[in-house]
Amino acid sequence: MATELPKTDVVIVGAGWTGLAAAKELADAGQRCVVIERGDWRHDATNFGAPEEHDELKYARRKEHMIDTPTKTLSFRNNSDQTALPMRRLGSFLPGKGLGGAGIHWNGQLWRPLPSDLQMRSHYAERYGESILDGMNVQDWGVTYDELEPHLDFFDRVCGTAGVAGNLNGETQEGGNPFEGPRSADYPNPPMKASPPLQMFRDTAAQMGYNPFHMPSANVTKAYENAYGAQLHPCTYCGFCERFGCGYFAKADPIICIYDVVKDHENFELRMNSQVLRVEKSADGKTATGVTYIDENGQEVFQPADTVCLNAYALWNVHLMLVSGLGTPYDPETGEGTVGRNYAYQTIAAASVFFDENVWSNPFMGAGALGMTIDDFNGDNFDHTDLGFVGGGYISANQTNGRPINYQPTPPDTPSWGAEWKQAVRESYLHHVGIVCHGSSVAVPENYLDLDPTYKDAYGQPLLRMTFDFPENDRKMSAYVLSKAEEIARNMDNVRAVGTVNRAAEGESYSVVPYQTTHNTGGAVIGTDPATSVVNRYGQMWDHHNVFVFGACLFPQNLGYNPTGPLMGLAYWTLDHMKNDYLQNPRPLMDA
């Protein structure tokens, strides 16, 4: 029998970006918040300093900052004819654990959604006719860009985002992304520097008539005091960003940007090394009463709360709903139920550019969001008539790192080991850049999340089961966008070879083995129809009005951008409605 703790106003599951943002905003609004986090306490100053943090084996290969697979994993299959088997080792994506969550080992590529991304079904239906979406569960988000803009802008000022605005209050700006939605304010900081390959990409793309711009970056470019009064420092381009914490205070993360300014708040309490097992429901099932978790001493305890916020990683939020009986699980046979529905991923391809010895890329001089990008083939920024697919992706020359265990570029047709391989790595390493195609991912009825019938985790709970393969739509999209990236690569000067890799190539199935991206989305999506969404447009569960859900699990389908920007826009949107409406009068904010 679990020990029952004194009741709190709000219990928050997970101390990453959305959990700490919720704690800060709700604590300031007078709510007593208890944040429960499964991992360890840590801080940028004390835990992420160089040179110790710059240990590729420990963090990039052994994945010390990531979820501990033996205690928490999922099972996976490509389709429902297969038997799902546990993902026994981390690979394709890397959920985090510990204070700051995956927010400490992201790259800082901080995007906003396109206005049309948020109205994907109605936008495509209007421009091309509804049938272009046949066979897909593509839907509108139920919240518009204009509604999210103040919150996207606020998060830019939490992170000190660096970039060049492309659209300021409707006016197109030189050097920015002309396709982006209107910004109410410029980026807080100037863009990052451009390494030689990025300069070449920019010039070539511009000559080809495209619109290159600096990737928006939460690797800060100047000393910056954020919206909460926390201080960030400029990036040193150390090349240890993704998979690593930043000891320079330069990559915006939940610890330095939010935790430091809420940690002493009288309404804030953080409980580390505590694993939430389930959300408990009231007798009538209409509301949640709190959460049961295993505390740092291994004791099972019950934390009652008036409001429950689910702020775990996208996949784990869905898992928590399924094991707690929140909402109705999705049934792919009938298409009914919503929890687990619309799981989507990110469709990644890349062109690999090998320069002659006149171009020094020095790939170890990098930063997570050091990129030069075109958005000409993202979203519906280009005419999809007769292309046979919807969606798209950005094309970006990125220079994130040159860490040599993982970074061993070799030109096409090089053997994968032996003397020729060794020679090729040696010749290519300092003269190479990757051009990534970061593609969208549509939701289809066959891709979903549910509970595994066989395998259990260390807490005796069924594993989450992922059934996923790249939809045909996305394979076509990816091949198309990759062909454009390859064309740019071949038009660049001083290029001796170009290779390509496409994770969603025809004939290839999605694999959990090679790293692709930690952008798992959907499963608890936002919307205006309880038949096709788990939460209403305010992030509030249709079935349990005092449960609010945060994170990329809300995305009805995945857009062609990295998810942190859009999901934090949604988080502040939800918190705004909690603070200014719900908490004064707890009730369903929309009629079902």
Partner 1 sequence: MKLARTAILAIASVSLGSAAIVQAQDQTEEPEMSELERRLDVDSVLFNATIKEEPDDDLLELGRLVAMGSSENGGSGMACITCHGVDGEGDGSGAFPRLDGQAGWYMYKQLQDYASGDRPNRVMSGIAQRLTEREREAVSAYYAAMPSGDLDTAHGSMDGTLLQWGGQLAAVGSAEKGIPACVNCHGAQGTGLPPSVPYLAGQYAGYMELQLELWTDGTRDNDAMDVMSTIAKKMTEEDMRAVSEYYARVSNPATDGAEAQAEYDMPAAE
Partner 2 sequence: MPNFSRRAVLMQLGASGLAALTPGASLAQNRYADLDTQPWSFLDGNEARFLASMADVLIPEDDFPSASQAGVVDFIDLQLAGPYGKGAGLFLEGPFRDGAPEQGWQVDHTPATLIRTGIARLESGDTRLVDLDASEREDFVTRLSEGEDFDLGDVPATTLFDEIWSLVKEGYFSDPIYGGNKDYAGWRMVGFPGAHAYYADLVDKNAPFPAPPRGIAHVPGSSRSASTSRALTGSDADTQQEEG
Residues known to be catalytic: 519
What residues numbered 416-435 form the site for partner 2, per CB under 8 A?
416-419, 422-423, 425-426, 429-430
Q: Between 43 and 58, whose beta carbon lies closer to partner 1?
A: 43
Decide whether 4 or 508 has the Cβ nearer to partner 2.
508
Residues with Cβ within 8 Å of 503's Cβ and at least 6 positions away in sequence, in order, are 347, 348, 349, 470, 478, 510, 511, 514, 516
Q: Which of the listed partners (partner 1, partner 2, none) does 249 bind, with a CB threshold of 5 to 8 Å by partner kind? A: partner 1
Q: Which residues pair with 533 in a beta bridge?
A: none
Residues 73-102 that bind partner 2 (CB under 8 A): 73, 76-78, 82-83, 85-91
Which 116-175 positions form the footprint of partner 1 (CB under 8 A)? none
The residue count for the chain = 592
Instruction: Find which of partner 2, partner 1, none residue 194 binds, CB within 5 to 8 Å per kind.
Output: partner 2
In the list 160, 212, 234, 379, the residue contacting partner 1 (rule: CB under 8 A) is 234
Residue 358 in contact with partner 1, rule: CB under 8 A: yes
* Cα–Cα dist 136/139, whole Å: 9
User: Which of residues 145, 210, 244, 248 is near partner 1 by CB under 8 A?
Assistant: 248
Show the site string, 380-409: x = touches partner 1 by CB under 8 A, - = not.
Answer: ------------------------------
Which region, judged by CB under 8 A, interacts with partner 1, from 65-73, 309-317, 353-361, 509-517?
353-361
The first and second tokens of residue 131, run together, are: 């049938």
Stretch that binds partner 1, among 167-175, 192-200, 320-328, 383-391 (CB under 8 A): 192-200
d(CA 34, CA 44): 22
Looking at the Cβ atoms of 334 and 416, the one nearer to partner 2 is 416
Name the one residue in this structure whose structure tokens are 């804030």. Answer: 268
Which residues are CB-neighbours of 82 under 8 A, at least 6 positions away? Answer: none
Give the one residue of 37, 260, 280, 380 binding partner 1; rule: CB under 8 A. Answer: 260
| Touching partner 1, residues 40-59 (CB under 8 A) | 43-46, 49-51
222 binds partner 2 (CB under 8 A): no
- How crowded is residue 389: how many other Cβ atoms within 10 Å of its Cβ? 20
Query: Residues binding partner 2: what is the number (CB under 8 A)?
Result: 71
Q: CB neighbours (10 Å) of residue 411?
A: 16
Q: Does 388 bind partner 2 (CB under 8 A)?
A: no
Smallest distance from partner 1 to CB 201, Å: 10
DSSP 429-445: TTSEEEEEEEE-B---T
- Cα pseudo-dihedral 574, 579, 585, 588, rounded to 10: 0
222 contact choice in partner 1, partner 2, none (CB below 5 to 8 Å, kind-dependent): partner 1
Q: Quick one: which segment of 197-205, 376-384, 411-419, 447-455 binds partner 1 (CB under 8 A)?
A: 197-205
Q: Cβ 53 to partner 2, closest distance in Å?
A: 8
User: Among 104, 110, 136, 200, which residue interacts with partner 1 (rule: CB under 8 A)?
Assistant: 200
* Run of H or E residues at 499: strand 495-502
Please give the full DSSP string across 265-323, using - where no structure is assigned.
-TTEEEE-S-EEEEEEE-TTSSSEEEEEEE-TTS-EEEEEEEEEEE-S-HHHHHHHHHH
Q: Determine the interface stretch with partner 2 among 25-33, 48-56, 341-349, 563-571 (rule: CB under 8 A).
A: 48-56
Residues 470 to 509 in contact with partner 2, rule: CB under 8 A? 509
- d(CA 544, CA 592) in angstroms, rounded, equals 11
Distance CA 482, CA 581 (A): 46
Q: Tell me the residue type at 397.
A: A
User: In the bound complex, what is the minimum distance in angstroms from residue 37's beta carbon to partner 1?
Assistant: 17
- At 404, the amino acid letter reads P
For 523, the 3-state DSSP assignment is coil
Burial 477-486 (b: 16+ CB within 10 A, else e): bbbbbbebbb
Residues 229-268, mask of contacts with partner 2 (x by CB under 8 A): -----xxxxxxx----------------------------
Whose tokens are 């928006």? That residue is 216
Q: Which two tokens stand for residue 16?
A: 């990453």
In terms of CB distance, is 360 or 531 closer to partner 2?
360
- Enter the DSSP assignment of 351: E
Among 42, 69, 128, 505, which residue interacts with partner 2 (rule: CB under 8 A)? Answer: 69
For residue 221, state whether it binds partner 1 (rule: CB under 8 A).
yes
Three-state DSSP class for residue 66: strand
CB distance 220 to 235 below 8 Å: yes
233 binds partner 1 (CB under 8 A): yes
580 binds partner 1 (CB under 8 A): no
Contact between residue 525 and residue 447 where contact means Cβ atoms under 8 Å apart: no
Select 136 or 397, whichever has its Cβ closest to partner 1.
Answer: 397
Q: Which positions lie near partner 1, rule CB under 8 A?
A: 43-46, 49-51, 196, 199-200, 203-204, 221-223, 230-231, 233-234, 236, 247-249, 256, 260, 358-360, 493-494
